[in-house]
Chain A
Amino acid sequence: MINILIGIISIIGTLLIYVLSIRLHKKFNYPFTLPILVATIILVIVLLTFDISYNTYMLGGDWVSELLGPAVVALAYPLYKERFLLKKLIMPIVCGTIAGGFVGVSTGVLLTKWAGFDSEIIFTISSKSVTTPVSMAITESLGGITPLAAVFVMIAGISGSVLSTYLFKYTGLKHYLGKGIALGSASHAIGTATALESSELEGSISSIAMILSAMLISIIAPGLVSILL
C-alpha cells in the first residue's frame, strides 16, 4: 500500500517538474533550458536533498518508463505520414548515418584509449550513440560495464540535444535533413525528441537515423573496436 502511495507521489512529482521545465523553456528559450536537462537536474537535486534513493523514486518512475515503449512505437506515425518524402531521401539518410556510426565508435574508442582507460571502459563507451537497450546489449557482448553504458548513452543524448543548436549554427548545418540525421545518429531517441520540436519531418528523419544507427553499430562495433584497440 505504502509503495503505491510513494509511486503515485513520484509520478505526480515527475509530472509537475516536467510541466515546470516546459514552461521554463518557453519563457527562456535557450539550449541550456532544454526540458530533459532541466527536469533531470531538478529531480536529482530534489531526490538528493530529501535523501530519497533512486529505487524508491522508481516505484513510480517505472510506470512512466514503461510508457517509453509505446511512445517509441508511436514514432511510426510521423514516419508513415512522411513516407513519400522519406523514400526520396533514403540515400543521404543511409550515408549520413554510416558516417556518423563509424565516427562515433572510432572517436569514442580512440579518445578513451589515448586517455589511458582500461579496455572495459573502452568497450563500454564504444556504443554510446545508440539507444539504451541496444547499447547495453552491445556492451555486454563486448565485455564492458553494462550499467555504465546506459549513463554514457544518457550523456550522449542530453549533451547532443543541448549543444546541437550551437553546432548547427556555427558549422552551417542548416538543412532539416542534416539536422535530423545528426540528432538521430548522435543522440538516439532523446535527439529525436529534440528534432521533433523543430518539425515532424526532422523528427521522422531522426527516428530513421536512430534505428539505422542502432543496427549499424551493433554490427560494426565488435570489429571496429578490435581493430582500434
Chain B
Amino acid sequence: MLKSIKIVLHICLLYILFQVGNWIEQTFHLFIPGSVIGMIILFILLLIKVINISWIEEGATFMIKHLTFFFIPVTVGIMSYLDLFRGNGIVLVLITIASTLLVMLSAGHVSQWMITRKEAKHD
C-alpha cells in the first residue's frame, strides 16, 4: 500500500514538471514539446541535487515500465486514417517504413562503427 501511495506522489511531481515544461514551451514559443522540456528540467534538477532521486524513483520506474500503455490512445488515432492503407496511400505507408529502416540502418551503424573503433583503441 505504501508503495502505491509513493508511486502516485512521484507521478504528481513528474506531472508538475510536465506542466512547467508546457508553460515554458508556450511562453517562449518553443519547438520542443513541454514533456521533453520537463525531462531536461528534471535531469538538471537531479544533477544539481535540488530534487532527490528518492522523490521520483518509484513513480518514474513504474511509468517507464508501462510507457507503451500511455501511447495506446494516441496510436489508436490511426483509425481515423484507415483510408491511407487503401489505394495510393499504401505507397506512403511503405515509403515511411522504408525510410524508417534506412534511418535505423544509418544511425545505428555509424554509431556502432565509432564505438567499436573506440573500444578497440582502448583494448
Q: Is A9 an interface residue (CB 8 A)?
A: no
CA distance A16 to B55 in the complex (A): 29
* A interface list, Cβ under 8 A from B: 14-15, 17-18, 35-36, 39-40, 43-44, 47-48, 54, 57-58, 60-62, 64-65, 67-80, 83, 89, 91-93, 95-97, 99-101, 103-104, 107-108, 111-112, 115, 117, 121, 125, 128-129, 131-134, 137-138, 147-148, 150-152, 154-160, 163-164, 167-168, 171, 173-175, 177-179, 181-183, 185-187, 189-190, 192-193, 196, 203, 207, 209, 211, 214-215, 218
CA distance A65 to B70 in the complex (A): 6
Q: Mark B24-37, 1 if CB is under 8 A from A, else 0.
A: 00000001111110
Residues of A within 8 A of B59 (CB): 74
- Interface hub of A108, A112, A121 (most chain B Cβ within 10 A): A108
Residues of A within 8 A of B32 (CB): 134, 214-215
11 A–B pairs (Cβ distance < 8 Å), ordered by A:
A67-B11, A75-B39, A80-B46, A99-B111, A101-B107, A104-B99, A178-B109, A186-B101, A192-B67, A211-B36, A211-B40
Q: Given contact pairs A76-B43, A78-B64, A171-B105, enumerate 9 new A-B contacts (beta carbons under 8 Å).
A: A69-B15, A76-B60, A117-B92, A128-B100, A159-B97, A160-B101, A182-B108, A196-B64, A203-B64
Determine if B36 and A163 form an interchain contact, defined as CB atoms under 8 angstroms apart.
no
Residues of B within 8 A of A74 (CB): 14, 39, 42, 56, 59-60, 63-64
Nearest residue (CB) in A for B81 is A151
Q: Is B79 an interface residue (CB 8 A)?
A: yes
Determine if A36 and B75 form an interchain contact, defined as CB atoms under 8 angstroms apart.
yes
Nearest residue (CB) in A for B74 is A65
CA distance A156 to B116 in the complex (A): 28
| B-side interface mostly | helix
- Interface hub of A62, A70, A155, A203 (most chain B Cβ within 10 A): A70
CA distance A95 to B117 in the complex (A): 14
Determine if A67 and B63 form an interchain contact, defined as CB atoms under 8 angstroms apart.
yes
CA distance A62 to B27 in the complex (A): 24
Determine if A189 and B107 form an interchain contact, defined as CB atoms under 8 angstroms apart.
no
Question: Contact partner of A68 among B17, B74, B93, CB < 8 A?
Answer: B74
Nearest residue (CB) in B for A132 is B74
Determine if A178 and B64 form an interchain contact, defined as CB atoms under 8 angstroms apart.
no
Nearest residue (CB) in B for A39 is B72
| A-side interface mostly | helix
The answer to whether residues A129 and B103 also contact, given A72-B35, A73-B18, A178-B115 and a CB cut-off of 8 A, is yes
Nearest residue (CB) in A for B38 is A73
Residues of A within 8 A of B91 (CB): 115, 117
Nearest 5 A/B pairs, CB to CB: A100-B107, A96-B111, A61-B73, A178-B112, A182-B108
Determine if A178 and B111 form an interchain contact, defined as CB atoms under 8 angstroms apart.
yes
Residues of A within 8 A of B36 (CB): 72, 131, 211, 214
Question: Contact partner of B100 among A73, A76, A160, CB < 8 A?
Answer: A160
Determine if A104 and B108 form an interchain contact, defined as CB atoms under 8 angstroms apart.
no
**Nearest CB in chain B: distance from A28 CB, A:** 17
Determine if B57 and A77 form an interchain contact, defined as CB atoms under 8 angstroms apart.
yes
Determine if A181 and B38 form an interchain contact, defined as CB atoms under 8 angstroms apart.
no
